[in-house]
Every structure is written in C-alpha cells, then in structure tokens.
Structure 1
Amino acid sequence: MLTDTYPPSKATFNLNQDSLVTPIIDFLLENQAPLLANIYPYFAYSGNTAQVALNYALFTAKDSVVNDGQLNYQNLFDAMLDSVYNALEKKNAGSVKVVVSESGWPTGGGVGASVDNAETYNSKLVRHVKGGTPKRQNQAIETYIFAMFDENQKTGDPVERFWGLFQPVQKKLKYAMEFS
C-alpha cells in the first residue's frame, strides 16, 4: 500500500489505493484506533539481496546504513515502520498509532531463512521494540511475532511454511526466545 519508501521520509500511500486508504484512515482518526501494519524486513532482504544487507535486516548492523535527513537507520525494521508513519503524516493522520501486527523471520524455505537468522531477528526484535524508531524515539512499539507454529501443510512458496517459533508436530521450540 506504500510507495517510494526509500528513504522513509519519501513514503506515501499508493494513489491507486486512495479510495480504499482514505476512508480507513478517516475511520482510524475518528475512533482513535491504531493502524495494524505487517512489517517484514525478511521479504525486503530476500527480494533484493544485492542492495539490502543481511545485517541491516537482522538488527546486527554496527553503524547507520541509511541516512534520511537528520534521521539515521541502523535496521530495516525501523526504516519500514517510519515509512508508515511518514505516509500517515502526509494524509494528515500523524496521530494514528501504528501497531506491528506481524513481524518475524523464517527458519527455512528461502534465501537467508535459517534457524540462526530467525533467532537473531526475533530476539533482537523483542529487545528493540521497547525503544521506538528514529522518528518516534522512546515510544515502545506494540509488536506481534508471526507465528506460533510452522504451517507445515501450507501450499505455495516454501518459505511460507517456516515462520513458527515451534514445530507443529513435535511442539518443540525451535530456538531460544526471551520475551523479557
């Protein structure tokens, strides 16, 4: 639904979707309800490994990777979320809270999908969302990890089967996770 998301300050809602987006934003403003956004750095990384560094996608970059005016981005999650904030501001809806309804990293089935990368991403995500983004500093980000279990019988792209923290049959945790 967003276009021109690089750098984040350029982000806007797709004009082709305006007849859908505007009433939704008006509803959210009127009801003081949050916008639910799925933020998946994995797909940005796996779809463009030549330009998106793995460490930027996994929260492991040591320094700023993207500079956008006075804001510096050390991870792709923040850049993607701030793109949503910027697009909302351009619709005069900067007061709308954004809840990250889905984020995660797969353990198999695709480029960069591994148990180690999923553990790194999800563990760092849990720690990171307490502190906000460069645009909204010191504001905790309500975030939900996708998914509880792998969907081992899901058809289509193989990567879609491997997002769970747990194996579906054995019901065993795939890697250590700390949520505190």
Structure 2
Amino acid sequence: MSSIGAISAGGQSIGVCYGMLGNNLPSQADVVKLYQSNGITGMRIYAPDSATLTALKGTNIKLIMDVANSDLSSIASSSSVAVSWVKKNVQSYYPSVSFKYIAVGNEVSGSDVSKILPAMKNIYSALSSAGLQNSIKVSTSISFGEVGTSYPPSAGAFSPSASSYMTPIVQYLATINAPLLANIYPYISHKDNPGSISLEYALFTSPGTVVTDGSNKYQNLFDAMVDALYSAMEKVGRSNVGIVISESGWPSAGGTAATISNAQKYNQNLINHVSKGTPKKPMALETYVFAMFNENQKPAGVEQNWGLFYPSKQPVYSISFK
C-alpha cells in the first residue's frame, strides 16, 4: 500500500476526519493503525465511539470529538447530563487519549442553534469540574454558510440571522480562550458558482492574484473564505479568537469537478499551504481534511466520494502529508 506520509505543518498538526457512515469500513482498531502507519497525527470523530477511543489510547493522535447534534438539547438543558457525558466519554479515556477539542455540535441549524451556547457552557463547566478546562478546549463547528457577506474578505460578516447566535458564541470563545471550528469548502463555492469562481482559484492553482483586498492579495479561495470568517469575528468585537479548520476537502467522483485528479490537487495543495496561514493571519492554520474513507451509507453522488482511502484501506490517490 502506498504511504500517505508523515505530517506536521509548521508545528500545527494536520488531521483527517473519520466519518463512519459506511457498512464496509475497517474496524476502529484497524483505522487507528492506518492513521499511525501514514503518520496522520490528528483525528476528528462526530460522536463518542468507545471502540475508536479505546484504539486511540497511547497513540498521541490529537482528537476533536463532537457532541452529536442529537445530544445538544439534553446537554444544553442539564448540567448533570453534561457531567455524565464528560465522565463517560472523556474522563474514562483521559489522559491515554489525547483529546484536544470538544466540538459541541456540527453545522447546527434551525431552532437548535439556540442550544449551542448553553451546551458549550455546560460541557466547559463539566470539564472544569474535572480539572480539564485548560487541557481540552470547548468549541462548536460551523459551516461557512453562517457568513452572509464574504466578498471582499475584509467585508466578511455573519448573516443577520447567524449574527444573533454567533455573536455570543464568539464572545464566549474569547473568554475561554478557545478557537472557532469551521468547515471550509471551496469545492461547494465553485460548484454553486462556476461562472464567477474558477476551478483554478478553488484548487490553489491560479497562476497569480485573483482578488486584491487592500494590501492583501488572494491567489486561492480557501484563504479568502478563512479571512472573511476572521473579519466576521472582528465585526462582533473578537479579533483574538482563532480558527481551526474542522473540515476541508474535495470529492473524487460523483458530481461537478469531482475527479481523482482535482481531489488530489486540492488536498495536496491544502496540506502544503496551511502552514503559511492566510494573508490576514500568516500563521500556521490547524486543519482537518475531510475525510478518511469513502462512506457508502451517505447519499449517492459526491457525498460518498470524499475519502482519502477506499474501505479496503487502499489510497484513492497518492498524497503526502508534510
């Protein structure tokens, strides 16, 4: 099997998201071995999973673990439920498992957005009671859709509807010294607007500057999206909150511009690029590539084709994490 190489970008780990919506995936123990054999030093899982957590013990793989969206209501409304969740899913495995972030919800939408902040506070309080609040950061993972204005990046602002809940969330992140987790997909922007967003701009392959914004010059859409999110946080008074890219990737089949060649280009260029940061904040940007495997229980089409690996553990394409 060809190697996907060791990783670290300017001291910041690059991880890979481990989705499990497949009925033909390797065992969790084999998946963790695949991360180790390829030098992948970060993982994201979308809910606590005891077999994965057990397999991660002693590996030093840094972990983002989500509070599943389905658990938001109970955790938001009960501090004792949050304490039980932390005891069962974090303290039972800590410090053998290297928890880095708890993502309280992923791309939460609709009426559930009001539950994000109270759930974050209850998880933070539970971690504090266990003395872990400085070791494990609490955040939530948002979609770029919360940003209503994104062009030019310096004009970035949350949409009016998102601003009502994102403003207190970002302000709370500042008080607990935690970053905002964000899922950034140039692929989706290109697919939805191919006329105005070129494939080269989305794939990091533009030969020169595409967007000039004051003194900042943008050669790729990823930087422009991240900087628009930084601008949105500045506009709610919190320029000191960092960003962790909790998902970014490109599908290899099943839809517009979804080819193995484009997926390989995007993910390799992403990995090579994020150690440099963005024009607005030129510092290493911790990033998690989506996703480890093609997942056959997702909707047909591109959704099933985001993996770096087939369920057989063979790489979909060669990539070097360096």
- The answer to whether the superposition gives a TM-score over 0.5 is yes
Paired residues, number: 177
SS across alignment from 1:129: helix
Alignment TM-score, normalising by the size of structure 2: 0.54
What amino acid maps onto 1:146 in structure 2?
F
1:149 paired residue among 255, 279, 293: 293
What amino acid maps onto 2:181 in structure 1?
L
Q: Deviations over 1:6-55 (max 9, x none)?
A: 11111101121233112211210110001000010000001111111101
SS across alignment from 1:130: helix
1:90 paired residue among 235, 255, 258: 235
Structure 1: which 5+ residue stretches go unaligned? none
Tell me whether 1:171 sits opposite 2:313 in the alignment. Answer: yes
Q: Deviations over 1:141-166 (max 9, x none)?
A: 0000000001122126x111110001
2:210 paired residue among 41, 57, 65: 65
Root mean square deviation of aligned Cα: 0.9
Q: Deviations over 1:82-126 (max 9, x none)?
A: 000000111111100100000000001110000000000000100
Match of 1:44 in 2: 189
Tell me whether 1:7 sits opposite 2:152 in the alignment. Answer: yes
**Aligned partners of 1:70, 1:38: CA distance in 2, in Å?**
26
**Aligned partners of 2:222, 2:186: CA distance in 1, in Å?**
6
Q: Percent identity?
A: 50
* Structure with greater strand percent: 2
Q: Deviations over 1:47-98 (max 9, x none)?
A: 1111111010000001000111111100000000000000011111110010
**Aligned partners of 1:47, 1:86: CA distance in 2, in Å?**
23
Alignment TM-score, normalising by the size of structure 1: 0.95
**Aligned partners of 1:133, 1:26: CA distance in 2, in Å?**
22
SS across alignment from 2:316: coil
1:161 paired residue among 285, 304, 316: 304
**Aligned partners of 1:134, 1:18: CA distance in 2, in Å?**
24
Question: Larger C-alpha radius of gyration, 1 or 2?
Answer: 2
* Structure with greater helix percent: 2
SS across alignment from 1:160: helix
**Aligned partners of 2:206, 2:315: CA distance in 1, in Å?**
27
- After TM superposition, the structure 1 = structure 2 runs for residues 106-121 of structure 1, keeping only pairs within 5 Å, are 106-121=251-266
Which consecutive segments of 4 or more residues in structure 1 shift more than 4 A? none
What amino acid maps onto 2:318 in structure 1?
A
What amino acid maps onto 1:136 in structure 2?
K
**Aligned partners of 2:163, 2:269: CA distance in 1, in Å?**
35
SS across alignment from 2:246: strand
Structure 2: which 5+ residue stretches go unaligned? 1-145
**Aligned partners of 1:78, 1:17: CA distance in 2, in Å?**
21
SS across alignment from 1:134: coil
